[in-house]
Structure 1
Amino acid sequence: MNQPKRYLITAALPYANGLKHIGHLAGAYLPADIYVRYLRAQQRDVVFICGSDEHGTAIPIQAMKEGTTAQAIIDKYHPIIKQNFDDLGISFDIYHRTSAPIHHETAQEFFKVLHQNGDLETKETEQYYDEQAKTFLADRYIKGTCPNCANPNAYGDQCEKCGTSLSPDELINPISTLSGNAPVKKATTHWYLPLNRHEDFLREWIIKEHGNDWRASVVGQCKSWIDGGLQPRAVTRDLDWGIKVPVEGADGKVLYVWFDAPIGYISATKQWALDNGKNWEPYWNDKETKLVHFIGKDNIVFHCIIFPVMLKLHGNILPDNVPANEFMNLEGDKMSTSRGWSIEMDDYINDWVKKENGGGQMADALRYYLTTIAPETKDSEFTWKGFKTAYTSELSDIFGNFVNRAFVLMHKLCGGKVPPFHNDLVDDKDKELMEDIKATKEKVETLIEQYKFRDAQNEVIDLARKGNKYLQEKAPWAKVKELAENPEAQKLIDNSLHLSLQLTANLAVFINPFLPFTAQKMLHMMKVVDKMLQWENAGSLKLLSVGYTLRAPEILFRKIEDSEIAAQTDKLKVVLEKQQAATAATSATAPAQPAEKAAKPEAAPKAEIQYDDFAKLELKTGTIVSAEKVEKADKLLKLSVDLGTGTRTIVSGIAMHYQPDQIIGKQVVVVANLAPRKMRGIESQGMILMAEDANGKLHFVNPEEKINPGAGVS
């Protein structure tokens, strides 16, 4: 495959409605930065695009909470988020804003092209309207009683108490949050993108062209959406905050945020080009450009289905890959800023990074751990114990330890200079280390090109581990005693330390995409310039010249104290206690629920398990695509269940409760990593979760509304 002429890398535009947490960082921004830094080291033409998403209802809602204006909210959070990224080494070429005039112009032009070409359609619907405020209401501007848990403060899109996704029509006694009055239904007209017209294109492009090179979770989710039948999607809405719809008859309407936000990648590229005297068009219109979107899994449908349709209709290039990450949880629970269960980037920076005297040591500590537990193929979990363990046992004790040993021994045994290398005394251990250095280059670049950043970083640490083993086996300090009797002892010392220093230089090149602050500190110690970090130097055994004086060693990674970790876990305990108190208060004032039928006696409780025991389970949503009775087994049904990435055969004992034709299309929760077992000669590849009511009837445990097969359950 020919190397692309240029690269355009985007990371999902974060909402400028509040601080962003480290789960966001791990999902889209850190992996994108690793990839971009690698491409720059390759000296490729690459532009890294991001910026604040400043429209949509999230912004004015936050403004209401803070008693200010939408403009004040975006002006407050945009610079904070931008600075957070800078402090953690995320090296955007531009961090733009969708409130910028150039974005409004670009988004409006985009809409007009689709409108004029007949690629949009209009449709009249009835939506809730506040007669006092004289405005149509977005879902988040409507509150009411949740039909699921009776929470009186559920929103029109979700109940934040029980987590159920809702529509405004499902709320009991809905009211407008603007006036407090009950809204009325009123007809309104909107423009729609008819995705149903493009199913064949999407199936060909995603499934056939990219089915083997995109992540299975991405392809699986897209396939599920397409197979389920795509529907027209509104591209406008009735709001006073956003980009005005640029056609007649659209007074009071703005572009829907999901439509305008991805166009922000294009407008940001335009602004970057203006700032740097470049031409933006080849980055979006030339097929020799490789476009890659880095996102979290909640953005897959927008970046793999909706935005590509928009780009195709507008005449732009399509993404070459969309390496979406899964979610990162925190200490056993899903991260949530609204619940306070998260670690904001800003908090981490204040607690760890700003307490340093520059150098970015603790910024790299976070980058390292997030990459170590990167949710590339499944949800992962951040724990403060895991953070300290990875930092200490790997980053400090392996990588940092090797670099420090090499420098200390060089100053002690070689006068602070790079010693010569004596080819006549090369042994098998020397040869093995030299081959390891060269091989690591190929391994790391292959893994990065495949978006396997976790594995690539592991290869770098493993090379440092091999360096420690090499030094221990060579033991140059022990050969000092042989100097008087063995004239070749100094040469053996020279060789071991020469190779160790060349390995140190290579480690700086290899680690640079992952830990840029560490790489810079290593350059300082070696007294070399940034040019050494170019990828063409990786694997070379001549990066440091013989006789060159190096600086005294500096500790790359300081010790993390137990008290520092305890302070962080205490913060989370406070949040948890507040949540428990709020739940107890709500329960105490909640109306009594109707009495259920007398339940059958409860089974004796099972033994208590630890979280780690539960974490071993891999629970996924699936859709039953076929079902049939198992011959000579009254209780068993043979099911074919679509898990997004493939179909599983599962034998389930539910035949006494359901007929096969009753459950086709039913969504279920599957224990996906259960060891296969044969039942009546059929290999069952998982287990369906069921609940039993007071009458002994089995019920499926399934999502409240349709969700893509393969979605994780936690």
Structure 2
Amino acid sequence: MGFRDTKHWYLDLSKLSKSLEEYVASRSFQGNVAQYTRRMIDDGLQARAMTRDIEWGIPAPFAGAEGKVIYVWGEAALGYVSAVIEHFGGEERWKDFWYGDDVFQIYTIGKDNISFHTLIFPGQLIASERGYHLPDQIAATEYLNWIGGQSFSKSRGVGLYCDAALRLMDGELWRFYLLYNRPEGRDVNFSWEELEKAVNGILISNVANLVNRVLSFVQSQYESIVPKFPVDAEVAERIETSTGGYERAVEDALLGQALRAACDLAVFGNEYFQRKAPWASGDRGAVASAVALVKAMALMLLPYTPRFSGQVLDVLGIAEPTWADLGRDLGGQSLTSDRVLLERIEIDQIREAVAARTAGEEVADKAETRDDYASFEGFQKLDLRVGVIREAADVAG
């Protein structure tokens, strides 16, 4: 090992500090993103090397930088620009995304890449002086760990990975659990108890329960026709409050918080339907209001449980749903079914399957481990030599 002098090219973030401070102040970054970025600015931005002395990579285009390549994070984020140009096939429309005002850019990353998206990448765009649109929102999650806070590791057999997980439970249910427990602001540990609570306790016992109670009631009592009655003021206000909070959470990249707002609407809906008891009171307005609750909840859940929510909306006669359907009056609409089914999960069976899989992998790993190592005495008998290859040539064939 030896040392040698070398020259590198840097992005001097300190010279961009004022511009970056103004940029960060103009954005509503979520908690962990704002805190991490603010701390780096307060500590004083440092110059970041943009070149490396390695063979693999994009050659550095600077004069005198022959033999050097661009540091991966010096060019990776700039690939966002290249990707949009590639997407539009070189047409000028790519400029609408990178120079337009009617644009809102959201970047979904892990917390270890925050600085590259809030400081280095914007710094590069600002330094170019080309007027690029800067990132609007950085949706950075904390870490999802395995049970007890262990880091996922295939080599150590820690965790459950997608291929195995999808054989154990429907992907839409995993999607719901993971987003409901999305690590926003803190690390989250996987938990069998939380999985059962999210799927059986919230999605099925609250959300699906409300859907099927209301749909089956309309089918049995109103011949599948939604009553033509105004939505109760109480329900209209609750829907407006819930969807408003949902929109703000999505804009702030708090997807777990937005999902919980949708699920809270289901809790309210079940309580409202039980309190109004239209089977006893004959309150047609309560039925129309309950249908409005189901519709709003399904629209909010659509990005999270697209298959289930899509089926619910299809039953309501909304084949191609948009957010504008929140204001759609379903009075007189004929329902195409009386229920949308979801099956409860058997958490003990899933746990046992994971335990059996893990045990099987450990056995396989042990079987592959060789214990027939040579003894030290045997090793001493080897004739090991070190040589230097001075010349090599291709061999025909």
Question: The TM-score by the shorter chain falls in which range?
Answer: 0.7 to 0.9
- Letter aligned with residue 269 of structure 1: V
Which of residues 261, 264, 268 in structure 1 aligns to 2:76?
261
Identify the match of residue 328 of structure 1 among 128, 141, 144.
Answer: 144
- How many residue pairs get aligned? The number is 365
Q: Does 2:349 align with 1:349?
A: no
Q: 1:547 Cα shift?
A: 5.3
- Match of 1:502, as an amino acid? A
**1:340 & 1:228 partners in 2: Cα distance?**
39
Distance 1:290 1:263 in 2: 17
What's the CA shift for 1:261? 1.0
1:502-541 counterparts in 2 under 5 A? Answer: 502-530=292-320, 533-538=321-326, 540=327
- C-alpha distance in 1 between matches for 2:38 and 2:145: 26
How far has the Cα of 1:259 moved from its partner? Answer: 1.2
Q: Structure 2: which 5+ residue stretches go unaligned?
A: 372-397
Task: Name the CA shift for 1:463/1:307 in 2 (closer, same or farther; >3 Å).
Answer: same
1:367 is aligned to 175
- Which residue is 1:441 aligned to? 243
Rate the CA distance shift 1:370–1:226 in 2: closer, same or farther, 3 A.
Answer: same
Tell me the amino acid that sits aligned with residue 19 of structure 2.
F
Work out the CA distance in 2 between the residues paired with 1:227 and 1:441.
36
Residue 474 in 1 paired to residue 259 in 2? no
- Report the CA distance between 1:298 and its aligned residue: 0.5
Contact 1:384–1:568 (CA under 8 A) maintained in structure 2: no
Change (3 A) 1:265 1:498: same
Output one character per residue of 1:88-147: Cα deviation in whole Å (capped at 9) or x when no partner. Answer: xxxxxxxxxxxxxxxxxxxxxxxxxxxxxxxxxxxxxxxxxxxxxxxxxxxxxxxxxxxx
Shifted more, 376-385 versus 214-223: the winner is: 214-223
Change in 2 beyond 3 A, CA 1:247/1:201: closer
Q: Which amino acid aligns with 2:146?
A: L
Deviation at 1:260, TM superposition (A): 1.7
Q: What is the Cα deviation at residue 409 of structure 1?
A: 1.9
**Alpha-carbon displacement from aligned partner over 1:3-51 (angstroms, at most 9, x marks no partner):** xxxxxxxxxxxxxxxxxxxxxxxxxxxxxxxxxxxxxxxxxxxxxxxxx
Pairs within 5 Å for 1:454-469 = 454-469=256-271
Partners of 1:415 and 1:565 in 2: CA distance: 43
Paired position in structure 2 for 1:179: none
The whole-number CA distance in structure 2 between the counterparts of 1:254 and 1:547 is 63
Amino acid at match of 1:550: T
- In the TM superposition, residue 267 of structure 1 has moved relative to its aligned partner by 1.2
Residue matched to 1:563: 349
Contact 1:444 1:456 in 2 (8 A): yes
The structure in which a higher percent of residues are strand is 1
Alignment of 1:15-164 (within 5 A): none
Pairing 1:250-649 to 2, within 5 Å after superposition: 250-274=65-89, 279-314=93-128, 315=130, 316-332=132-148, 333-337=150-154, 339-352=156-169, 362-421=170-229, 430-477=232-279, 479=280, 492=282, 494-530=284-320, 533-538=321-326, 540=327, 542-546=328-332, 548-555=334-341, 557-561=342-346, 562-571=348-357
Corresponding residue for 1:244?
Answer: 59
- CA deviation after TM superposition for structure 1 residue 402, in Å: 0.8
Verify the 8 A CA contact 2:168 2:350 in the aligned structure 1: no
Distance 1:551 1:204, change over 3 A: closer
> Structure 2 length normalisation: TM-score?
0.80
In structure 1, the gaps of 5 or more residues are 1-182, 353-361, 480-488, 586-714
How far residue 209 of structure 1 moved from its aligned partner, in angstroms, is 4.4
| Identical-pair percentage | 30
Calculate the TM-score normalised by the size of structure 1: 0.47
- Corresponding residue number in structure 2 for 1:691: none
Q: Distance in 2 between the 1:503 and 1:227 partners?
A: 46
> Partners of 2:185 and 2:286 in 1: how far apart?
40
For 1:547 and 1:309, locate their aligned partners in 2 and report how far apart those are by CA, in whole Å. Answer: 54
Distance apart, 1:518 and its partner CA: 2.1
Deviations 1:571-614 (A, max 9, x none): 4567789999xxxx9xxxxxxxxxxxxxxxxxxxxxxxxxxxxx
- 1:449: Cα distance to partner? 2.4
Tell me which amino acid in the other structure corresponds to 1:567.
Answer: A
Task: Please give the root-mean-square deviation of Cα atoms over the aligned residues, in Å.
Answer: 3.2
| AA aligned opposite 1:347 | A
Determine the C-alpha separation between the residues in 2 that align with 1:198 and 1:467.
51
Would the aligned equivalents of 1:511 and 1:519 in 2 still touch at CA under 8 Å? yes
